[in-house]
Structure 1
Amino acid sequence: MLIDTHLHLIDRKRISYPWLEDVPDLNADWSYAAYDDMAQRLGIEGALHMEVDVDPTDIATETAMVAELMAQGGTLMRGAISSARPEDEGFEAFLDRLDLTVVKGIRRVLHVMPDDLSRSSLFRANIRKLGAHGLPFDICALARQLDIAIELIDACPDTEFVVDHCGVPDIAGGAYDDWAASINRLAQRPNVNAKISGITAYATPDWTVDTLRPYVEHVIESFGWDRVVWGSDSPVCTLNASLERWVAATHDLTAGASDDERALFYAFNAARIWDLAL
C-alpha cells in the first residue's frame, strides 16, 4: 500500500491561486479524476490533499472540495492538510470551525514568506494549539530556512511536525553539507517527521535515481524508517519528471529496504501521523 501524503489539486474555476500566474508550467487545472486514473495504476491506495496556497478567502472552499471527493464511493482521498494563517488573531476560532473528519493537518507555506513570520509570539502560540487539536503542522521551508524551522519546533514541543520535500535541498546546485547538517539537527527532535516528496523538482531535468539517492538516504538514515513518509507532490513533480517516474524512482530508492521498512515509509507512518484508517 502506498499513501500519497502530498497531492495538490487545482480547480481554477472554483478557487483562486494567486501564485500560479508566475508558474506557467503548472497554471492549468489538475483534476482528481486524472490523478485517480494514474494513481490506481501505480499502486497508490490513498491520498491526502495538500493545500495549494490558495487565496485566503478560498481556504474553506478548498477544504469543501476535498470533503466532496472523500464522500465519493471508491475514492482515494483520505483527508485534507489545510492552509491556515497562524500569524492571525483569528486562528483559534478557525481551528474550532474545522471538521476534523476532513482536516487532518495544517500547513502555512513559509518558503515564500519573510523569514521572521514564524518567529512571532502569536505564530508560535497558535502552532502550539495544534497539538491539543491533534493536528500536525507541515513545514515547507527552503534549506537555508531549516534552522528557523528548528526554532519554531523547539517552541512547540507538543505539536507534531512534518518537514516537506526533504527540506528542499538544492540538488541542481549540488549543495549538500549545510542541508545535511540541518537535517541531522531536525531529526534530533522526536516530534519531527520527514516527507520524501517530489524532490525531482529540485534537481536538473537530466536527473537519475543516483542523483537523488544521497539526499533520500541521508533523510532516512537521520530520521529512521519510523519517521519518514512518501508524497508525490503532484503536479509539482511534473516540472522535471512525471508521477509515474517519481513512483518508479521511489521503488528503486527503497529496493534495499526490508518489507517492514517499506511498509512504514509507504503507509503506516502516514496513518500514525495523520490518524488515517488503512
Structure 2
Amino acid sequence: MQALFTAPPIPKTQPKIDCHVHVFDPLRFPYADDTFYRPTGHEIATTEQLGALMDAHGVQHALIVGPNSGYGFDNRCLLDALQRGKGRFKGAAVVPNHTGREELQALQASGVVGVTLNVALLGTDYYRDAAPLLAHLRELGMWACVQVQFDELLTVKPMLLDSGVQIVVDHCARPNPAAGVDQPGFAALLDLAQTGRVSVKLSSLVKSSAQAFPHRDAWPYVQALIAAFGPQQLMWGSDWPFLRAPARIDYGPLLDLFGQLVPDTGARQAILWDTPKRLFGFV
C-alpha cells in the first residue's frame, strides 16, 4: 500500500506547542443552560486528559481556547485548567463585547493572553460594537483571537485594523474549499501579512476541506499562508477534542500531516515552537 505521506513524521522529541485545544469538564463545571452545543462522549476533554494527550505526543505547552459550546461566557473551566497547569497552558477567553479593562486584567493575571471573537458562529453583526473591547486588548497587550469563515473577514477587517490590536486568525480563516486562494476573504487574510501584527493558526483543515483526511484540497491554503506570512507569524493547532467532527480525527496523524505540509525542519521548529513561544509568552 502506498504511504499516505512522503515526509518523515514529526519526532516526539521535537518541541511543540499546540495553539488550539479546548477543555470540557461538565461534572465539575456544568454546561450553561442556554449553551450553543453540549459536548458529550468522546468530546469530553478534561485537563487531565489534555495533559495525558500532550505527554503521549511530546507536546510541552498548549493554548486553551474558551469554547462557545458548553460554556459560553463562563470561563471557570478554562481558568481552572490554567491554574492547575502551572504554566503549561495559556488561555483565550470568551467574553461579552462590553467587558471592561479591569475584568480583562484579572483574566490576564490568570494566564489568559487573548479573547476569542467567533465571527464564524455568531456572525459579523454581533461584533459591530466590539471596538472598545479591542481597544482594551490593545492597551493590555492581549490578543484578538478571530475565527471567521468564507468572506467574513472582509466585514471585520477594517475594525480590526483600526483597533491596532494584535490578531491571531484561527483555522486558516476557514476559506471556502471550492473557491481557491483568490477568493476575497482569503485574499484579505494574505493581505494582512504586511501589517506585521497578524498571525495565523495552521489548524483544523477539516473546516476548509470538502475531502476526507488528509484534506488535500486545503493544502493550497496552507502553502499560500506559509508564502505570505512566513514561519515567524504562523503556529500549529490540533483543535482537539474535535467537536462535531464529520469523521474520526486522530492527533498523531494531524502531526504527521503538518510534517508533510512543512517538510523544512527550520520552518517546523518555528511554527511548532519558536513563534508561539515568543508571541504568547510561554517559558
Query: Hey, what's the Cα distance between the residues in 2 that align with 1:42 and 1:168?
Result: 26
Query: What is the CA-CA distance between 1:63 and the residue it aligns to?
Result: 3.3
Query: What is the CA-CA distance between 1:108 and the residue it aligns to?
Result: 2.7
1:223-242 to 2 correspondences below 5 Å = 223-236=229-242, 239-240=246-247, 241-242=249-250
DSSP 3-state at the match of 1:194: strand
1:98 lines up with 2:107 in the alignment: yes
Matched with 2:67 is 52
2:90 to 74, 79, 87: 79
Q: Are residues 252 and 274 of structure 1, via their aligned partners in 2, closer, same or farther at CA, if it must alter by over 3 Å? A: same
Question: Structure 1: which 4+ aligned runs deviate by more than 6 Å?
Answer: 23-26
Query: Hey, what's the Cα distance between the residues in 1 that align with 2:227 and 2:137?
Result: 28
Gaps of 5+ in 1: none
Query: Hey, what's the Cα distance between the residues in 2 that align with 1:36 and 1:57?
Result: 24
Amino acid at match of 1:254: V
Q: Are residues 156 and 170 of structure 1, via their aligned partners in 2, closer, same or farther at CA, if it must alter by over 3 Å? A: same
Query: What is the CA-CA distance between 1:239 and the residue it aligns to?
Result: 4.1
**Deviation by residue 1:75-130 (Cα, 9 ceiling, x = unmatched):** 8x3221111112x2x4323213324251122113221223123332xx11220211
1:177 lines up with 2:187 in the alignment: no
Query: Hey, what's the Cα distance between the residues in 1 that align with 2:125 and 2:92?
Result: 23
Query: Hey, what's the Cα distance between the residues in 1 that align with 2:128 and 2:108?
Result: 28
**Deviation by residue 1:143-191 (Cα, 9 ceiling, x = unmatched):** 220112311221112x1100000001233x4554214412222223221
Normalization by structure 2: what TM-score? 0.83
Matched with 1:254 is 262
1:63 lines up with 2:78 in the alignment: yes
**Deviation by residue 1:223-278 (Cα, 9 ceiling, x = unmatched):** 111100111111127544221221110111111x2x3322211111111221111x
Query: Sequence identity of aligned pairs in percent?
Result: 18
Gaps of 5+ in 2: 1-14
1:7 lines up with 2:21 in the alignment: yes
Matched with 1:145 is 152
Amino acid at match of 1:161: I
Query: Hey, what's the Cα distance between the residues in 2 that align with 1:108 and 1:209?
Result: 26
1:34 to 27, 49, 55: 49
1:134 to 141, 157, 162: 141
1:203 to 172, 197, 209: 209
Matched with 1:243 is 251
Amino acid at match of 2:36: W
Matched residues, number: 262
